């Protein structure tokens, strides 16, 4: 046609890389391309039905369904739906790019896997299901017409380099994805996707529960034996008795609703009974999606149904933000079919369902933690930091979250263990939980703040996720009757009353002896710290920095600044260790000549290395290095 404008586009680099992997078929199971295309068709029908509530004229007269059209002669397979369709802009955006925020992560993940088989979770994490078509086809065309529009768009690509967009014709709303199938057999042993029997098997295996009928049509062939019956049973999986649903079926259903390619970690089935009724089938993923921390993107994956009819996706009202990784379906009996997102926010019934679901998820996690430590550790390594965001949710009973928290400690050599068990180990007469936070486990395990605790055999819990700074800062509730006490805050006194008294005596004497030196050091670092004092927490290191009780930690201050908050600068306290030989020598030097210039230099170096020891950054690292080099030179 002369009036058809054809425009060529290059694939985004990341898409090229992905397609390259798909085409050269490093992926072990090409059959799943059909699952992905059917899943997209089903999503498009869901969206049309939802939009149809406000635009009833968009709904077709014919039944909402999906058709697989095979032409064995031409080796064509078309997946056709009468769903929402796409505009020209949407086609370009949806099929040809990976969401911006995901692109960098994708490249990084891909680098790590170079040359190896693509792990399904890598693909699933980035929601790139459509591209799976290129495992079965050497050319794909998409013809689509958006609901409410008069014109259609055609997308075409061989999967190498780029794609072409042109105007097209389509009699009704919806989308056809046509695969020009690769030759069957060959070295790669490509299955024959033009084979009717094979297609039936694949649909049964991967898409049986899809709630729209999937029909098979053979072009030019005789009437297929099954007549007009759908290939899928369409039976909602959550309405079937639990013991009749196999793990495989759960796996496929989960992949359909979550767009993930890995099997779920576990499923939770629950019923709400009483004034109103609902059934829920929830899944915990085993792998975190790349966008878990992209606030705007990490959609919560709960689908809302009313009496088996799909109402909406991403129903945020049913799951709190900190459980955004939970996927699944809620099927309510008594809600209106015309419920809108706005109505959900005030709906008491929805609120009650939400509470029930949160309880069930936390209970299931509790059981997993109890019964399968290794699996729980796997879960926690993926989702622990998100779960702990629950400590910041004002609606949440925070003890419930604490029961699920894992942490490292000075007694378990950097391994994660149960917080609850650690707190049970605390002696009865110690009424606080000692803890330390920091940017990495590596730095905090070696922190000078821990020295006295290690020496006295007092366990300190170590937290190194970013979110830990935040919830531990916000006055966490007593846990098992014990208060939280940071070991890098305020004045720490350890031991029994007598021991403390003896220590106090000793400190008085030391303070007299060190008075002059402390004064000199204060002058040397007065613009960096607000006080220099003797430490009770150091046994090996010469110095450390501490904050006053109730003050922000430097890490927390950094987090808040990053979030755009105006945080006033606060200065730490420099604590020095009076028993350290360096300080003993320095004191002697000060006694001999209190105006010795080296004292000030040492003061700055002590401050600098205390800052470095806790993973901090020096304002003027060049000056610090220079001083250090000078000192080394003189020492030689």
What are the residues binding ligand ADP (CB under 6 A)?
A: 36, 40-41, 44, 81, 83-86, 94-95, 127-130, 175, 259
Which of Mg ion, ligand ADP, none has residue 83 at its interface (CB below 5 to 8 Å by kind)?
Answer: ligand ADP
Q: How far is the CB of 167 from ligand ADP (least distance, A)?
A: 18
CA separation for the pair 504, 330 (Å, rounded): 62
Alpha helices in 281-439 (DSSP H): 341-346, 348-371, 373-388, 398-402, 419-425
Which of Mg ion, ligand ADP, none has residue 175 at its interface (CB below 5 to 8 Å by kind)?
Answer: ligand ADP
Nearest-Å Rg of the Cα atoms of the chain is 32
- Of 99, 100, 108, the residue nearest 127 (C-alpha): 99
Which of ligand ADP, Mg ion, none has residue 554 at its interface (CB below 5 to 8 Å by kind)?
Answer: none
CA separation for the pair 423, 426 (Å, rounded): 5
Which of ligand ADP, Mg ion, none has residue 81 at its interface (CB below 5 to 8 Å by kind)?
Answer: ligand ADP
Shorter beta-carbon distance to ligand ADP: residue 212 or 322: 212
Contact map string, positions 325 to 354, toward Mg ion, x by CB under 5 A:
------------------------------
Shorter beta-carbon distance to Mg ion: residue 177 or 574: 177
Closest residue to ligand ADP, judged by C-beta, is: 129
Which of ligand ADP, Mg ion, none has residue 575 at its interface (CB below 5 to 8 Å by kind)?
Answer: none
Shorter beta-carbon distance to Mg ion: residue 131 or 193: 131
Shorter beta-carbon distance to ligand ADP: residue 76 or 557: 76
Packed helices 466-473 and 554-562: angle between N→C axes, nearest 10 degrees: 110
> Residue 293: what are its φ and ψ, rounded to 5°?
-105, 5
Q: How far is the CB of 420 from ligand ADP (least distance, A)?
A: 38
> Residue 121: what are its φ and ψ, rounded to 5°?
-65, -25
Alpha helices in 457-496 (DSSP H): 466-473
CA separation for the pair 56, 561 (Å, rounded): 49
Which of Mg ion, ligand ADP, none has residue 41 at its interface (CB below 5 to 8 Å by kind)?
Answer: ligand ADP
Q: How far is the CB of 174 from ligand ADP (least distance, A)?
A: 7
Shorter beta-carbon distance to Mg ion: residue 255 or 267: 255
527 vs 143, 567, 573, 604, CA distance in Å?
A: 69, 18, 12, 11
Q: How far is the CB of 95 from ligand ADP (least distance, A)?
A: 6
DSSP state at residue 12 = P
Q: How far is the CB of 528 from ligand ADP (least distance, A)?
A: 51
CA separation for the pair 280, 303 (Å, rounded): 10
Q: How far is the CB of 130 from Mg ion (least distance, A)?
A: 6
Q: How far is the CB of 163 from Mg ion (least distance, A)?
A: 17
- Of 288, 318, 287, 282, the residue nearest 300 (C-alpha): 318
Please, which of residues 21-40 interact with Mg ion by CB under 5 A? 40
Which of Mg ion, ligand ADP, none has residue 486 at its interface (CB below 5 to 8 Å by kind)?
Answer: none
Q: How far is the CB of 471 from ligand ADP (least distance, A)?
A: 32
Shorter beta-carbon distance to ligand ADP: residue 326 or 559: 326
Q: How far is the CB of 338 from ligand ADP (least distance, A)?
A: 23
Task: Take residue 553 and report the two structure tokens written for it.
Answer: 């930690």
Buried b (16+ CB within 10 A) or exposed e, 90-113: ebbeebbebbeebbebbeebbeee
Q: How many CB atoms lie within 10 A of CB 2?
A: 3
Q: How far is the CB of 474 from ligand ADP (least distance, A)?
A: 36
Which of ligand ADP, Mg ion, none has residue 364 at its interface (CB below 5 to 8 Å by kind)?
Answer: none
Which of ligand ADP, Mg ion, none has residue 280 at its interface (CB below 5 to 8 Å by kind)?
Answer: none
Which of Mg ion, ligand ADP, none has residue 407 at its interface (CB below 5 to 8 Å by kind)?
Answer: none
Q: How far is the CB of 462 from ligand ADP (least distance, A)?
A: 38
SS3 call for 405: coil
Q: How many CB atoms lie within 10 A of CB 13?
A: 12
How are beta strands 406-409 and 417-418 bridged, if at all? antiparallel
Q: How many CB atoms lie within 10 A of CB 440?
A: 9
Contact 295, 102 (CB under 8 A): no
The secondary structure of 430-456 as a DSSP string is --EEEEEE-S-HHHHHT-GGGHHHHHH
Q: Which residues contact 203 (CB under 8 A, 6 or more apart)?
A: 34, 38, 68, 214, 231, 232
CA separation for the pair 562, 541 (Å, rounded): 32
Task: Take residue 90 and report the two structure tokens written for it.
Answer: 């949407």
Query: Binders of Mg ion: how many residues, by CB under 5 A?
Result: 2
Shorter beta-carbon distance to ligand ADP: residue 127 or 448: 127
Shorter beta-carbon distance to ligand ADP: residue 80 or 553: 80
42 binds Mg ion (CB under 5 A): no
Shorter beta-carbon distance to Mg ion: residue 258 or 447: 258
DSSP state at residue 244 = G
Shorter beta-carbon distance to Mg ion: residue 129 or 384: 129
Which of ligand ADP, Mg ion, none has residue 44 at its interface (CB below 5 to 8 Å by kind)?
Answer: ligand ADP
Shorter beta-carbon distance to Mg ion: residue 203 or 405: 203
CA separation for the pair 225, 231 (Å, rounded): 12
Q: How far is the CB of 143 from ligand ADP (least distance, A)?
A: 10
Q: Alpha-carbon torsion 122, 127, 129, 132, what sign?
A: negative
CA separation for the pair 435, 401 (Å, rounded): 17
Contact map string, positions 161 to 180, toward Mg ion, x by CB under 5 A:
--------------------
Q: Which residue has the tokens 């899943």?
A: 39
Q: How far is the CB of 81 from ligand ADP (least distance, A)?
A: 5
Q: How far is the CB of 290 from ligand ADP (least distance, A)?
A: 12
Which of ligand ADP, Mg ion, none has residue 471 at its interface (CB below 5 to 8 Å by kind)?
Answer: none
Shorter beta-carbon distance to Mg ion: residue 40 or 409: 40
Please, which of residues 104-163 interact with Mg ion by CB under 5 A? 129
Closest residue to Mg ion, judged by C-beta, is: 129
Q: Which residue has the tokens 């927490």?
A: 537
Shorter beta-carbon distance to ligand ADP: residue 44 or 406: 44
Helix (H), strand (E) at residue 330: strand 327-332
**Residues contributing to the site for Mg ion (CB under 5 A):** 40, 129
């Amino acid at each position: 046609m002369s009036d058809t404008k054809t425009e060529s586009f290059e694939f985004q680099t990341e898409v090229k890389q992905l397609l390259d992997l798909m085409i050269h078929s490093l992926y072990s199971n090409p059959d799943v391309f059909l699952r992905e295309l059917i899943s997209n068709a089903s999503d498009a029908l869901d969206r049309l039905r939802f939009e149809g509530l406000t635009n009833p004229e968009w709904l077709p007269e014919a039944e909402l369904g999906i058709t697989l059209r095979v032409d064995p002669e031409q080796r064509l397979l078309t997946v056709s739906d009468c769903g929402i369709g796409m505009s020209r802009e949407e086609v370009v955006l949806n099929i040809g790019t990976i969401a911006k925020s995901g692109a960098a992560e994708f490249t990084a993940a891909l680098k790590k896997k170079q040359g190896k088989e693509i792990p399904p979770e890598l693909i699933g994490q980035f929601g790139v299901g459509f591209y799976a078509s290129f495992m079965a086809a050497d050319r794909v065309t998409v013809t689509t017409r958006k609901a409410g529009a008069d014109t259609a768009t055609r997308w075409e690509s061989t999967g190498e380099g780029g794609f072409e967009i042109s105007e097209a014709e389509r009699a009704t709303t919806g989308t056809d994805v046509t695969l020009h199938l690769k030759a069957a057999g060959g070295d790669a042993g490509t299955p024959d996707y033009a084979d009717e029997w094979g297609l039936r098997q694949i649909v049964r295996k991967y898409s049986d529960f899809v709630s729209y009928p999937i029909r098979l049509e053979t072009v030019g062939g005789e009437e297929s034996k099954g007549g007009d019956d759908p290939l899928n049973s369409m039976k909602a999986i959550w309405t079937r008795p639990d013991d009749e649903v196999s793990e495989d079926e759960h796996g496929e259903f989960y992949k359909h609703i979550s767009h993930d390619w890995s099997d779920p970690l576990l499923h939770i089935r629950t019923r709400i009974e009483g004034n109103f009724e609902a059934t829920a089938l929830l899944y915990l993923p085993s792998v975190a999606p790349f966008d878990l921390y992209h606030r705007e993107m990490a959609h919560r994956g709960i689908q809302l149904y009313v009496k088996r009819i799909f109402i909406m996706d991403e129903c945020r009202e049913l799951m709190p933000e900190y459980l955004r990784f939970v996927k699944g379906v809620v099927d309510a009996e008594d809600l209106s079919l015309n419920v809108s997102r706005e109505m959900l926010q005030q709906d008491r019934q929805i609120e009650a369902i939400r509470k029930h679901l949160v309880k069930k998820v936390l209970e299931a996690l509790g059981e997993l933690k109890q019964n399968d430590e290794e699996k729980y550790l796997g879960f926690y390594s993926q989702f622990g930091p998100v779960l702990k965001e629950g400590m910041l949710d004002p609606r949440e009973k925070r003890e419930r979250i604490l029961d699920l928290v894992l942490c490292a400690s000075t007694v378990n050599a950097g391994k994660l263990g149960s917080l609850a068990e650690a707190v049970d180990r605390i002696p009865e007469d110690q009424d606080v939980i000692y803890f330390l936070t920091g940017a990495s486990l590596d730095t905090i395990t070696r922190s000078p703040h821990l020295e006295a605790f290690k020496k006295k055999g007092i366990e300190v819990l170590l937290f190194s996720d970013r979110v830990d700074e935040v919830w531990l800062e916000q006055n966490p509730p007593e846990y098992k009757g014990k208060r939280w006490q940071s070991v890098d805050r305020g004045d720490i006194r350890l031991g029994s009353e007598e021991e403390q008294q003896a220590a106090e005596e000793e400190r008085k004497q030391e303070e007299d002896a060190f008075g002059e030196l402390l004064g000199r050091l204060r002058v040397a670092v007065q613009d960096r710290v607000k006080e220099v004092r003797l430490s009770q927490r150091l046994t090996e290191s010469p110095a450390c920095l501490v904050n006053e009780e109730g003050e922000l930690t430097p890490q927390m201050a950094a987090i808040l600044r990053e979030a755009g908050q105006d945080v006033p600068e606060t200065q730490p306290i420099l604590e020095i260790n009076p028993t350290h030989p360096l300080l003993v020598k320095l004191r002697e030097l000060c006694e001999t000549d209190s105006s010795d210039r080296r004292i000030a230099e040492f003061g700055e170096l002590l401050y600098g290395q205390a800052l470095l020891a806790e993973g901090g950054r020096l304002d003027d690292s060049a000056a610090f290095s220079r001083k250090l080099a000078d000192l080394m030179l003189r020492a030689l």
